[in-house]
Structure 1
Amino acid sequence: MAAQQGNHLMEAATLSEAAFRLVCDSRSQLGESPVWSAAEQVLYFVDIRGPSINRFDPAKGELRRFMQSEEIGCIGLVRGGGFIAGLRSGIWRLDEEGKPLAKLADNPEDTGTSRFNDGRVGPDGRFYAGTVDESRQGKSALYRYDAKGLTRLIDGLMCSNGLAFSPDGATMYHVDSPVSTVTARSFDRMSGTVGPERVLIDIPNDPAARPDGACVDSEGCYWLAIFGASVVRRFLPDGTQIGEYPVPVRCPTMLAFGGPDLRTLYVTTAGSRRPPEEMAQFPESGSLFAMNAPVAGLPEPLFDENL
């Protein structure tokens, strides 16, 4: 591991000029949940407060918005087309333009103070999505959805975030944003169950800068957006930080690899409910940014409705 860590540190140094650049002036209120479609060669992402699903075609520089009737926290691509999505009211099946086809499961929490937040399709083809407790009483949770229904996996959260899986599918990473730690748990692909947590990364406790969304690259490194700090950080599987990349706005939210070779790293950002002086300094807040990554990402799993 020591030799591997040294190589990565040298790589980070030679790539010091890598930086995120504006690729889509989307000005989302709260951009989140970027997902690359290999079949279409486009990036989908949500604006939670828009609320909308957004389709960005990098080859054409074209953005399309599919408006939603309620806040939408996360999406996953479905085998055969369309989306599975976590909205305030629950888990929904949507068509290719974001129109509702069926409600799959109710949000089991009080929707007056709870909505679905960060989530993604797991390596097993099931959908994993967590909630945010807007009352800040630690009542939110992380759930698994499959053909058997909605199953609670982790309790006692305030804001479920940072969900990602190791390349071999044996480890699940997770964040409860206000706690400012990244945890790792064993993951069983056959059953979709998780083991006890262990703290992998301690983020300095700063109310103005907290861990948000994440993804994993093909080398197993964990990339984490630090909301409020204008940076994205890269960590080895053992939790060692090996890179920090500036984002030209204050609040990056979540990451996804895309492009034909999966070497373009996209990051969504927040553009509402921020101080006026911040918006004056960073007028592109809420837009989509990207950089050339030092390593490729992983193909996005598709939700399997038969599981």
Structure 2
Amino acid sequence: MADASPSLVWDIHCGTGESPVWDERAKVLYFCDIPAGRLHRFDPTTPDKSRTWQLPEVLGSLGLCQSGLILVCQKQKIMTFDTETEALVPLASIDEPDTNRLNDGKVGPDGCFWVGTINEGSDGLASGHLYRVTPDGRVETKIEGLKNSNGLAWSADGRTMYHSDTRGPWIDCWDFDTASGNISNRRRFADVSDAEGRPDGAALAMDGSYWSAGSGRGVINRFGTDGKLIEAIATSVPNPTMPCFADGRVFITSGLPKDEDMRREFPNAGGLFAMATSLQGVPVARFADAD
């Protein structure tokens, strides 16, 4: 459970802050600003040492690599980024309508990068997919018929994968084979009501609870292992986008409201927030690009 309310730790004004990933080696948090194409690194011990890198395109999500590189998703390309040299090297690409882009992604227990797409077109069609990207750059289609792929997380034993469609709005889970990356036995975990907010980015705690950003309602929804809502943790912004566990804290990214009046009402929207927690999070794996 949360031991305190979320507080602002970096007033970074992201258009859509997303994909927070805790680097346990360096004790820093990476996250992105999707529309601005910026990669941020927050140092909680020495905030003045926090950094930002500008990338060429929108930046949907990211993952940490065994090699120390950062895996980044541009509009329809997956690339590696070296924060020291700023070298950006293509790894893989997808082929979808131009209205679609890569969105929420995470490294799975199989050492591969799982990433989905969102349809940003006015047609509202479920033309998105969930992909599995291997270290050698192969792209495998895993789920079709998505509007806004989101909410990826895995159980502590790696045998259950959680996944949402923000515009479904629903959260499903699958049996997961950590050796092959095969998924099976799809079942509904939770149907999310409008009152709970759209199910955005997510993280899993070691107690099995699924923490999902309730975008539009200003909450982080904590679901139990049975898919029932345990608590809704209020934030001070309308659009929290994803929680991330990190050494006794939960970091939360957020986005700016589209409405100008709401932007004035919530001046901290788009910032990075943190709160204390007694729960531990399930560690997110690293991309297996090195032994």
Which TM-score applies when normalising by structure 2? 0.94
Please give the secondary structure, in 1, of the residue aligned with 2:61. strand
Per-residue deviation, residues 6-56 of structure 1 (Å, max 9, x unmatched): xxxxxx5xx6x6211111111111100000001110000000011111000
Q: Percent identity, aligned pairs only?
A: 36
Residue in structure 2 matched with residue 115 of structure 1 by the alignment: 101
Contact 2:92 / 2:137 at 8 angstroms: preserved in 1? Answer: no
Which stretches of structure 1, 4 residues or more, deviate above 6 A after TM superposition? none
2:11 aligned with 1:25: yes
Residue among 17, 20, 31 paired with 1:45: 31
In structure 2, the CA distance between the partners of 1:122 and 1:78, relative to structure 1 (3 Å rule), is: same
2:200 aligned with 1:215: no
Please give the secondary structure, in 2, of the residue aligned with 1:286. coil
Instruction: Tell me the distance in 1 between the aligned counterparts of 2:249 and 2:85.
Output: 25
Q: Which amino acid aligns with 2:253?
A: T
Contact 2:130 / 2:141 at 8 angstroms: preserved in 1? Answer: yes
Instruction: Tell me the distance in 1 between the aligned counterparts of 2:19 and 2:109.
Output: 16
In structure 2, the CA distance between the partners of 1:42 and 1:237, relative to structure 1 (3 Å rule), is: same
2:88 aligned with 1:104: no
Instruction: Tell me the distance in 2 between the aligned counterparts of 1:298 and 1:178.
Output: 26
Which TM-score applies when normalising by structure 1? 0.89
Residue in structure 2 matched with residue 89 of structure 1 by the alignment: 76
Q: Which amino acid aligns with 1:57?
A: D
Per-residue deviation, residues 266-306 of structure 1 (Å, max 9, x unmatched): 0100025x111211110110000010113111223110026
Residue in structure 1 matched with residue 248 of structure 2 by the alignment: 263
Residue among 226, 232, 257 paired with 1:244: 232
Instruction: Tell me the distance in 2 between the aligned counterparts of 1:268 and 1:235.
Output: 19
In structure 2, the CA distance between the partners of 1:255 and 1:97, relative to structure 1 (3 Å rule), is: farther
Count how many residue pairs are aligned between Structure 1 and Structure 2.
287
Instruction: Tell me the distance in 2 between the aligned counterparts of 1:26 and 1:167.
Output: 32
CA RMSD of aligned residues (A): 1.7
Residue among 148, 152, 156 paired with 1:159: 148
Q: 1:118: how far off?
A: 0.2
Gaps of 5+ in 1: 1-11
Instruction: Tell me the distance in 1 between the aligned counterparts of 2:87 and 2:146.
Output: 28
The answer to which of 208-217 and 71-80 deviates more is 208-217
